[in-house]
Amino acid sequence: MPLTTESQARTAATRSLPQLNTLTKYPSILTLHALGDRGRLTPDFTTPGLFSQPLTATEKIDGTSARLLVFADGSYVVGSRENLLTVSGDLLFDPAVGIVEGLRRLVFPHYADEKGHLPRLVFGIDNGEPAPLTVLFGEFYGGKVTGNSKQYGPPEQVGFRVFDVAVFTDAPALATQLQADIRDLSTWRESETPTGLRYGQPFLPEIELAAYLAHVGLPAVPHLPAYTAPDSTHESVLAWLREHISHTQAALPGQATPGRAEGAILRTADRSAIVKIRFEDYERTLNQRSKG
């Protein structure tokens, strides 16, 4: 891949690395029911207003979060959940969990231009103008990424599936954020309220996200039937999981029998509320309850 020193990604990473990292971290996701003692779920909802809108459901894959920051000129930065790992044009990179090597194998061959940039992944805004910054959030999984990677495929197989995309459309506002105090950016990204976490990042709504992924040809995390259980007792949530995702729908090539799924993520269509439901949490809670 050719070296390049004059790209928007390199300029941003050189001048504003802490801000860029904080601005584009994926926010925390609460459990649907609050966690209590010994990891047991309580009857209380963490996000009381969650059921005011229809909820979409997707599989929660047991991997590691990865992000791909693509600037308007197609230059990019690759990051893990916590850190930025490489900038387009770099020969050296942080090998954390194999994310950079994995994306170079899974994504870049299909999208990189002669400069090694990724202009096809830039979101088009008004009149097809490229968005100043498009951030793809996905799950990198399989291989030896986590202890449960064997549920998805053999050790030599890894995958990447997108679960959210944030599009920064206002260049002056983005420039201001890249000079802001990182504590303010962290609060902007997510803050606690009486009705759950408030998210600041400009996520694409469900319909636009699906259209974008179909246009660029990237795989999404598996979609599940809409979640419609406003009572949502511990028993009903576990029953819903067992009915709709008894095994993973994200198996990789070479996996003869799909393994156990971790759970599901529930979102409002506008991404204003996001929670997770995991088999482990509900099974532990109900098992402890049955033992008194």
Task: Give the CATH number of the domain where residue 105 resides.
Answer: 3.30.470.30
Q: Average pLDDT, whole number, for the chain?
A: 94
Does residue 148 lie within any of the structural domains? Answer: yes
Does residue 1 lie within any of the structural domains? Answer: no
SS percent in the chain: helix, strand, coil, step 5 = 35, 30, 40
* Average pLDDT score over residue span 16-24: 99
Joined together, the tokens standing for residue 207 give 């319909």
Does residue 149 lie within any of the structural domains? Answer: yes
Quote the pTM value. 0.95
* pLDDT at res. 128: 83
Q: Which residues contact 198 (CB under 8 A, 6 or more apart)?
A: 190, 191, 192
Comparing CA positions, the residue from 61, 59, 58, 65 lying closest to residue 79 is 65
Does residue 115 lie within any of the structural domains? Answer: yes
* pLDDT at res. 3: 47
* pLDDT at res. 75: 98
pLDDT of 2 strictly over 60? no
Does residue 2 lie within any of the structural domains? Answer: no
Q: Which helix (H) or strand (E) holds 43?
A: strand 41-45
Choose between 16 and 288: higher pLDDT: 16
The per-residue pLDDT for range 71-129, each reduced to its tens digit, is 999 999 999 999 999 999 998 899 989 999 999 999 999 999 999 999 999 999 988 89
Does residue 98 lie within any of the structural domains? Answer: yes
Q: Domain count for the chain, please give it.
A: 1
Residues β-bridged to residue 264: 59, 277
pLDDT of 5 strictly over 70? no
Does residue 100 lie within any of the structural domains? Answer: yes
> 108 lies in which domain range?
8-290
Does residue 113 lie within any of the structural domains? Answer: yes
- The pLDDT confidence band at residue 1, using thresholds 50, 70 and 90, is very low
- The pLDDT confidence band at residue 4, using thresholds 50, 70 and 90, is very low
* pLDDT at res. 127: 83
The per-residue pLDDT for range 238-269, each reduced to its tens digit, is 999 999 999 999 999 999 899 999 999 999 98
3-state DSSP call for residue 12? helix
d(CA 112, CA 109) in angstroms, rounded, equals: 6
* pLDDT at res. 39: 85
